[in-house]
Structures are given as C-alpha cells and as structure tokens.
C-alpha cells in the first residue's frame, strides 16, 4: 500500500516508518520539524519532506496516489501553561481539519489517527458493594493530607480502579487532551459525512528508544531516566501507587501497521496498551534497579488536576485488529534504562 505518514521524523513516527517499510509498504514521509520536537535547526532525516499539515496545497501534492494516511503529526505533552493552548489548537486541530479536507479532495478515504488515553481524563472506579462510581477532581484537602485515592461520595471509602474501555465517557483534563479529543471529533464527523474509514488509536503511556529526554513535555519514564543519568533519584509524586499502562513504542508501531492493513468500517477508537498495568512507583524502581540506583524518592507532592489512575482495556484492539502488545512493561523498562534518547528534542515550548 501507499501510505502517507505525517510526523514521520518524530519519536513514534520514526518507528512507524521503519515498521511500514520493513513490511513492504511504500511510505511518503512528512514532518514540519518543529523546534519543540527536534531542536532549533534540525534538518529532516533522509526521505522525509518538510511539510506543514496546515498547508493544504502541499498536502494536495503529497496525497496523489495515496491509499491510507497515518496521521502522527502533533504538538504533544500535557501542556505547561495556558499559553500552550494556541499551539495545540493550531497544529493538532486545525492541522487535522486541513488534512481531512485535503484527503476529501484527493478521494483518499482511510485514516489511521494517533489519539491518546488522555481523552478519557480520569479512569474508571468502583466502590465496594456498589459498582461503578463517577469521580470528579480530587479535593485539595485530601491531597494535602496524603489521601490520594478518590473517595466514594456516599461512604467516604477509597475507590478502586477498573480498566477503561473505548465507550467510556471522554472528559479531557488538559489542553493537550482537549486537542486530541477535537482531532477525534473532526475525524469522526469527516468519516460520517464522506463515508470514510477512521481508526483512532488511543495510545497509553508510550516509551522506548529515541524518546525525548527530560523536558516539561516529556513522558515520566524519560524524566525518571534523565534523573538517574544525572545521578539523582527519580522524584515520584503522590504515593507512587498511581496505576498506568506503559506500552513500548515498537508495539505502537505494530498497532499502526495492523490498523493500516486491516480496514475497519466508519470511526473506530481503540486502546493501544500493554494490557499489563504498572504503578508509577514501579516504573521508577525498575529503572533505578536497572541502572544501579539511586533509589526513587516518593515525595508526596502532587500536581493539581493530575489523573490518579488510568488503565486500558485492550480487548477491542485484539478483536478488531488481532493486535496484542509483545513487550512486557518490566522487561521493556529494564531495557529502556540504557536506550538511546533524543538529546535536543523538546527543549523549547511549542509555538503557534
């Protein structure tokens, strides 16, 4: 197949490009090479064209003869301040809208979209003897007192987490999350209007080789790893028991290949995860053990608005695509402790 891959020079995009080429697909690779992702003056890698997905005319030329678009281009991260909002809206949402319009002009009716677990906001919870419980933002008084779990509104008892499936309510709680949900909404509406096919892959916590180093926009695994490289203990927020699903970037690439090779009707969102939950404390401990210390420090500090638990139900992706992650998080994080990282990526704030 002829695949147009946006964001092809990025952390995830570069792995997808190799996966698709190794599988025999013809890949047309685009990347804007934003300074926030690649450093202030990085040239595109060989075979990658410098193209802005907000440039409709450039996309018209790039889409000629394309069978499916794999859309990875985005400004990423949870956002450091409200000043990041225009960059998310411009690159993620307006860029996706321009791409969808160009695909319509080209008659290209298949899109694989990089989405994220962040569209859910908080995970799912249940109380003892009462089943599912909807939660809101945790109370500052509880957090200050070291009570980090959500409480049952009726009994005051701590709730336990449950896995999140794709039909769960979508309640974004960051600027980045709002932009990813908007991408999904544009894509779903486009699919309905044009009769096209969209597979939205909701990545959970992605890590692996070539991940950006410690920046305000990095993932927590890279932040812990950078601290250890500097001889400093990883700083674990809250009590370290926050549950997540860490999925290796090679599994993300495999999921994208599966979605490209297996068309699904209409708009279909899928969790892409390892299916093996791990706590943030375990992530820090695993990395520290692999590198020989220093041991993590559980600080008890918290960030207002942080999600407590978010763990995926991976079953729909297995049934729809035949995809199941191959890398166990403990094994993958142990290898990640010495994996090559990007030195200059993410050193600048995203720009409009």
The verdict on residue 110 lying in a domain is yes
* Domain total of the chain: 1
Report the pLDDT averaged over residues 82-103.
Answer: 94
Residue 110 β-bridge partners: 197
Least confident range of 37-41, 121-125, 180-184, 305-309:
37-41
What is the residue-averaged pLDDT of the chain? 93
CATH number of the domain to which 247 belongs: 3.40.50.720
Asked whether residue 154 is domain-assigned, the answer is no
Return the H-helix or E-strand segment holding 286.
helix 280-291
Cα 150 to chain centroid distance, Å, stands at 24
Output the pLDDT for position 82: 82
Give mean pLDDT, residues 344-351: 54
Residue 330 has what pLDDT? 98
Mean pLDDT of 106-117: 98
Instruction: Average the pLDDT over 155-178 and give the result.
Output: 94
Q: What is the pTM of this model?
A: 0.95
The reply to whether 345 falls in a domain is no
The answer to the question of residue 315 being in a domain is yes
- Say whether pLDDT at 312 is over 50: yes
- Stated length of the chain: 352
Binning the chain into helix, strand and coil, the percentages to the nearest 5 are: 35, 20, 45
- The answer to whether residue 348 scores a pLDDT higher than 80 is no
Q: Is the residue at 197 inside a domain?
A: yes
Residue 84 lies in a domain: yes
Domain assignment present for 258: yes
Does the pLDDT of residue 351 top 90, yes or no?
no
- Domain of 102 in residue numbering reads as 2-123+164-337
The answer, yes or no, to whether residue 343 has pLDDT greater than 80, is no
Region of poorest pLDDT, from 11-20, 213-222, 272-281, 341-350: 341-350
- What is the per-residue pLDDT across 226-260, written as a single tens digit (0 to 9) for each? 999 999 999 999 999 999 999 999 999 999 999 99
pLDDT category of residue 80 using cuts at 50, 70 and 90: low
Q: DSSP 3-state assignment of 248?
A: strand
Reported as a single tens digit per residue, the pLDDT across 201-219 is: 999 999 999 998 866 556 8
Tokens of 199: 């597979």
């Amino acid at each position: 197949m002829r695949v147009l891959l946006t964001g092809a020079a990025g952390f995830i995009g570069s792995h997808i490009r190799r996966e698709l080429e190794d599988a025999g697909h013809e890949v047309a690779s685009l990347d804007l090479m934003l300074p926030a992702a690649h450093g202030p003056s990085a040239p595109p890698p060989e075979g990658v064209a410098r193209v802005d997905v907000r440039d409709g005319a450039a996309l018209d030329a790039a889409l000629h003869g394309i069978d499916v678009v794999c859309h990875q281009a985005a400004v990423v991260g949870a956002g450091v301040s409200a000043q990041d909002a225009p960059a998310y809206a411009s690159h993620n949402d307006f860029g996706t809208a321009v791409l969808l319009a160009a695909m319509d002009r080209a008659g290209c009716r298949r899109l694989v979209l990089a989405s994220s677990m962040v569209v859910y906001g908080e995970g799912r919870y249940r109380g003892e003897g009462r089943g599912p419980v909807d939660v809101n933002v945790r109370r500052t008084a509880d957090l200050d007192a070291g009570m980090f779990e959500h409480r049952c509104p009726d009994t005051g008892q701590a709730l336990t987490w449950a896995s999140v499936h794709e039909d769960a309510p979508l309640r974004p709680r960051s600027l980045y999350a709002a932009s990813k949900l908007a991408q999904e909404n544009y894509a779903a509406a486009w699919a309905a209007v044009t009769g096209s096919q969209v597979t939205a892959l909701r990545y959970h916590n992605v890590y692996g080789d070539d991940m950006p180093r410690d920046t305000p926009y990095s993932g927590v695994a890279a932040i812990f790893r950078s601290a250890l490289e500097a001889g400093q203990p990883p700083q674990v927020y809250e009590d370290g028991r926050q549950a997540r699903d860490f999925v290796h970037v090679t599994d993300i690439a495999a999921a994208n290949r599966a979605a490209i090779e297996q068309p699904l009707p209409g708009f279909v969102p899928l969790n892409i995860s390892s299916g093996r939950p791990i706590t943030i404390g375990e992530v820090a401990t695993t990395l520290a053990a692999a590198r020989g210390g220093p041991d993590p420090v559980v600080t008890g500090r918290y960030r207002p608005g942080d999600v407590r638990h978010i763990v995926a139900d991976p079953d729909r992706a297995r049934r729809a695509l035949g995809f199941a992650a191959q890398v166990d998080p403990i094994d993958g994080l142990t290898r990640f402790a010495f994996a090559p990282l990007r030195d200059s990526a993410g050193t600048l704030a995203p720009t409009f």
